[in-house]
């Protein structure tokens, strides 16, 4: 490694990890993905254990995205107006309560209500913490900052899936994998409480302040004020195709893994290992994002996702499935540039709203994608991934048109 590279890594690590607020937000993000991956990857197996069709899970996921579509702009505006740390802490408390109930839910109606509730709480959490991280990062080290955030994501994901796999295997009950998530989210709420009144703005999250923030919401006026709508519009087109391609496929990966020959008891461990391998790739990606064109790294993220889905689409057994998972790990190196490139385009005081606009598009696509994916999977599992790969390829093509 050259002296310049060594100096950059040392300075970037020192700047980012020397900020106590950033350390807290990274831990919070790791906790979020600890619970999020267990939640996402366990649901298909849980539905199978309960004897409920995966097509039903697809419909519930679509309905959940419809609720998130409505909540997305509200959470984006509120996150720009109130204390983001406290908003995320409140979401963590809500998730802790719902995970405790989810472990024992059996009725489809109860499952649907809990899945929607957890998804809305995760949305509020992400829309609060993501712009808070962007605000706290210093110029010149944003890529490494997001890379370290992604390390927390993948480390949390890997640990969560490993813990969930152990609990499900030892107890013989897939639903019990949700129980450790209660403690994780409770601890996260305490962590975020210590970040309140930090550098992200917003004085408090008292009932009166929240009512004021919500009562003063004027979506048309607030979103009209966002700068650089030309680029934001292209981000939205990319997100639409990518969310269609990913939304109709990725939630089915645990079931697909079992169908191609991965033992059911090992499925969560397979995904845990892939996330663990992705963590160091995030650091590589962070360095790349600070030293090379973020635009082309952004394009590379969608191109590699296309390759991954198409590989799954032709997989007839474990070997090609393993190749697809290897591409999944490799594409992690592009992720820090994706977030950095997006936030490069907008001012800090509008970042929450801009982020939520792209999120609205993702949720709109997500209303359709899971239902279509579940339907196609019942006909031919591999065709689901082939169609998803083509849609992801369109997203990659549109990303090429973005400015340097």
- The pLDDT tens digits for 187-241 are 999 998 887 764 444 444 455 555 555 555 545 556 667 777 788 889 899 999 9
* 123: its two tokens: 């949305």
| Alpha helix stretches (DSSP H) within 18-53 | 20-50
Residues 142-163, mean pLDDT to the nearest whole number:
82
- Residue in 166, 137, 130, 144 with CA at minimum distance from that of residue 38: 166
Distance CA 52, CA 55 (A): 8
Distance CA 255, CA 45 (A): 7
Q: Are the CB atoms for 99 and 35 separated by under 8 Å? A: yes
- Boundaries of every domain in the chain: 18-399
Secondary-structure percent of the chain, ordered helix, strand, coil, rounded to 5: 85, 0, 15
Distance CA 206, CA 204 (A): 6
Q: For the chain, what's the residue count?
A: 404
- The pLDDT tens digits for 249-303 are 988 888 888 888 887 667 777 777 887 788 788 878 778 877 888 889 999 999 9
According to the CATH classification, is domain 18-399 in 3.30.1330.20?
no
Q: Are the CB atoms for 304 and 327 separated by under 8 Å? A: yes
**Residue 203's pLDDT is what?**
44
- Residue in 293, 375, 268 with CA at minimum distance from that of residue 45: 268
* Tokens 């899936």 sit on residue: 161
- The pLDDT tens digits for 307-345 are 999 999 998 888 898 898 899 888 888 888 888 888 887
- Residue in 398, 257, 399, 242 with CA at minimum distance from that of residue 306: 242
Q: Which residues of 101-126 are buried (b: 16+ CB within 10 A; e: fewer)?
A: ebbebeeeeebbbbbbbbbbbbbbbb
Distance CA 25, CA 126 (A): 11
* 92: its two tokens: 């963590």
């Amino acid at each position: 490694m050259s002296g310049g590279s060594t100096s950059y890594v040392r300075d970037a690590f020192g700047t980012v990890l020397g900020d106590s607020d950033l350390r807290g937000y990274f831990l919070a993000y790791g906790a979020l993905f600890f619970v999020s991956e267990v939640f996402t990857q366990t649901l298909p197996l849980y539905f199978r254990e309960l004897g409920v069709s995966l097509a039903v899970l697809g419909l519930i996921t679509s309905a959940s995205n419809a609720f998130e579509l409505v909540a997305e702009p509200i959470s984006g505006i509120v996150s720009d107006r109130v204390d983001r740390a406290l908003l995320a802490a409140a979401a963590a408390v809500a998730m802790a309560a719902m995970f405790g109930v989810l472990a024992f839910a059996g009725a489809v109606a109860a499952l649907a209500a809990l899945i929607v509730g957890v998804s809305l709480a995760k949305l509020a959490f992400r829309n609060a913490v993501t712009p808070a991280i962007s605000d706290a990062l210093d110029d010149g080290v944003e890529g490494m900052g997001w890379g370290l955030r992604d390390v927390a994501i993948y480390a949390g994901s890997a640990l969560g899936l490993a813990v969930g796999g152990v609990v499900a295997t030892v107890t013989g009950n897939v639903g019990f994998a949700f129980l450790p998530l209660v403690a994780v989210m409770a601890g996260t709420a305490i962590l975020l409480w210590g970040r309140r009144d930090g550098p992200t703005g917003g004085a408090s999250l008292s009932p009166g302040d929240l009512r004021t923030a919500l009562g003063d919401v004027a979506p048309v006026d607030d979103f009209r004020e966002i700068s650089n709508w030309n680029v934001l519009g292209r981000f939205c087109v990319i997100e639409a195709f990518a969310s269609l391609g990913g939304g109709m496929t990725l939630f089915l990966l645990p079931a697909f893994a079992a169908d191609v020959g991965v033992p059911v008891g090992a499925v969560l461990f397979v995904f845990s290992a892939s996330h663990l391998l992705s963590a160091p790739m995030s650091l590589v990606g962070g360095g790349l994002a600070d030293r090379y064109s973020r635009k082309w790294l952004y394009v590379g993220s969608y191109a590699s996702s296309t390759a991954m889905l198409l590989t799954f689409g032709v997989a007839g057994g474990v070997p090609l499935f393993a190749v697809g998972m290897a591409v999944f790990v490799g594409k992690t190196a592009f992720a820090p540039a994706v977030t950095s490139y997006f936030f490069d385009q907008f001012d800090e005081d509008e970042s929450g709203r801009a982020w939520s606009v792209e999120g609205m598009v993702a949720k709109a696509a997500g209303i359709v994608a899971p239902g279509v994916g579940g339907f196609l999977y019942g006909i031919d599992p591999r065709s689901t991934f082939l169609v998803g790969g083509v849609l992801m390829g369109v997203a990659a093509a549109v990303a090429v048109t973005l400015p340097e």
